Amino acid sequence: MKFYISTTGIKRLTISSAVGSGGGGGGGGAGGTGGFWQVMKGKGSPATRRISQRAVLPALLILGIFLPFLFLRIAFVVLESATICSSSPGCMGWRFFGGSEPSLRLREELTRALVEAYIDEDGAGIGIEGSPVSFKELVKDVTSNKQDIKAFAFKTKAMILNMERKVQLARRQESIYWHIASHGVPKSLHCLCLKLAEEYAVNAIARSRLPPPEFVSRLTDPSFHHVVLLTDNVLAASVVISSTIKNSANPEKIVFHIVTDKKTYTPMHAWFAVHPITSAVVEVKGLHQYDWSHEVNVGVREMLEIHRLIWSHNYNNLKGEDFESEARQERNLEVLSPSCISLVNHLRIYIPELFPNLNKIVFLDDDIVVQHDLSSLWELDLNGKVVGAVVDSWCGVNCCPGRKYKDYFNFTNTMISSVLDHDRCGWLYGMNVFDLRAWRETNITSTYHQWLKFNLNSGMALWRPGALPPALIAFEGRVHPIHPSWHVSGLGYRFPQVDLQILEAAAVLHFSGPAKPWLEIGVPEVRSLWSRHVNFSNEFIRKCRIIE
């Protein structure tokens, strides 16, 4: 095990190749007694506070752990030396980790005083604000005022409590800064879009047709394997496609459909035009190029507006909230992610309208990397269901691959508690098989809109912001479970715990969570699984200094 301090904080990494015993179809679980891969990532901070936060937060955490023990040990030294030593030479035989019989008596007396000294969480018994701020001040106060051992115990406890509060505050601040860092767009990705947009303007090749005319017929041919990506991230889309092709048994049968917004269309088109993929077909289409009916346009606008209102409602509620626990703070800060109000993120409920001529597609999020061949997904029998998704998990009984319904919904509201089970596992969004023909025969999209309106009329308190909660309700009873090894998620959190062999066996690794692999706060040991599909020798990648 390695324990060290770097410029990004404290890191500890434990890697074992053995597999623990665990339930579920995917193999051993991370919670077993066998091997596991645990990554504890250090504390990130915004660039504007890079020096102060990176210097102060790790120091506060270390001091908060070790200082209480150091205080007590040195207190024994000072008080005992004042009691049994009349001069400095007389104390030469005193041992720091030992002590004479008077030392043992003093230790017992001090321990008893510390146990009896009562200081509640609000600092009753002694003013926390008036407690010593350093050990030197504590010793000076005790010796100069000739206070008894009980007074020393009170002051020591107050000092320790004060330090604990500072550590808790530092953790909360660090968590907030970490989430703020996850919401930004790195200047390297912004640079990449600008460079590609410039290339589109000056280079005719960057404006060439995608796909070439001879492959246009494949865009609606059901005999091909159609993959859909809804994204505004050029680099992420390139990794999804390159990793899929690299691990495909028949890449020539794959057709990629990339749907992006208007501002990203130009750089997205330029990237795949300048870097053509000869083994597969790639289509890049902007939302502004769709000619939807008036009804669909109104529905999309209404959907996005309600999601924005839900996001704003939660944001306003969080501003003055005093978080009860760090875990609750983490969950609440996640809802502030820009993806919660991203149009391309919410448009997945309109996939049948986006691709009216397709019957079956595999949907991939842009924060995934493909590790194995996906061909058999298109042959998967969904047994009349609309979506194939991972529901069960490799980690055992009562362990969800994502989160339980109680983490998404407000079960104090009868509208939710009457139709959903709070302890049920939510299916994973991000790598799914959709039977679009079956979808068109249902009312899934209208049900989705109906529940959005219910949420709006209920004070926007039915669920947390995001695309998944209303989709869980809309697709209720229409989900076909697929094997857990198809999709391992949660790699975008600070403390992912995934068995090494589970990672290697997974067909798709999903960096769901705030720490995307293209961000500096991404966990390096897991991010490397994604970055190995980035061509760092590429001219645009080098010019924009994309991190490796």
Successive 10-residue mean pLDDT values, the chain, 548 residues: 39 38 39 37 40 54 62 57 47 47 66 60 49 70 68 73 81 79 87 97 96 96 97 97 96 97 97 95 96 92 91 75 56 73 91 96 97 96 96 72 86 92 91 97 95 92 88 95 92 80 91 90 87 94 87
pLDDT score at 540: 96
Residue 355 CA to its chain's centroid (Å): 30
Spatial separation of the C-alpha atoms in residues 201 and 214, rounded to whole Å:
25
- DSSP type of residue 348: G
Pairwise CA distance, residues 287 & 289, whole Å: 5
Whether 74 contacts 97, CB under 8 Å: no
Question: Containing H/E element for 470?
Answer: helix 468-474
pTM comes to 0.74
What pLDDT is stored for residue 395 in this prediction? 67
Q: Where are the beta strands (DSSP E) in 365-405?
A: 368-370, 387-390
Q: Is 316 helix (H, G, I), strand (E, B) or coil?
A: helix
Alpha-carbon gap, residue 360 to 434, rounded angstroms:
6
Asked whether the beta carbons of 299 and 449 are under 8 A apart, the reply is yes
Upper half-sphere CA count for residue 330 (Cβ side, 13 Å)? 12
In a 13 Å sphere around the CA of 158, the CA atoms on its Cβ side amount to: 20
d(CA 164, CA 445): 50
Confidence (pLDDT) at 207? 96
Token reading at 403: 């989160």
Domains of the chain by residue range: 128-183, 184-544
Query: How far apart are alpha carbons 18 and 28 in whole angstroms?
Result: 9
Exposure pattern of 27-50 as b/e (b: 16+ CB <10 Å)? bbbbebebbbbebbbbbbbeeeee
Which parts of 36-193 are beta strand (E)?
A: 37-40
Q: Give me the residue label for tokens 């495909």.
A: 248
CA distances from 457 to 296, 303, 306, 413, 472 (A): 22, 14, 11, 13, 19
Do the beta carbons of residue 284 and residue 260 sit within 8 Å?
yes
Complete edge-to-edge strand list for the sheet that includes strand 2-6: 2-6, 9-15, 37-40, 497-498
Q: Which two tokens stand for residue 185?
A: 């767009």
d(CA 112, CA 115): 5
How far is residue 324's CA from residue 345's CA, in Å, rounded to a whole number? 30
As a whole number of Å, the CA-based R_g of the chain is 29
Q: Bridge partners of 409?
A: 463
Residue 10 CA to residue 54 CA, distance in Å, equals: 10
Identify the three-state secondary structure at position 303: helix
Q: What pLDDT score does 181 carry?
A: 81
Amino acid at position 390, single letter: V
Residue type for position 286? G
pLDDT of the residue at 126:
47
- Gap between the Cα atoms of 475 and 324, Å rounded: 33
Pick the closest to residue 250 from 375, 155, 334, 138 (CA basis). Answer: 375
For 184-544, the fitting CATH number among 3.90.550.10, 3.30.70.20, 1.10.3720.10, 3.40.50.1820 is 3.90.550.10
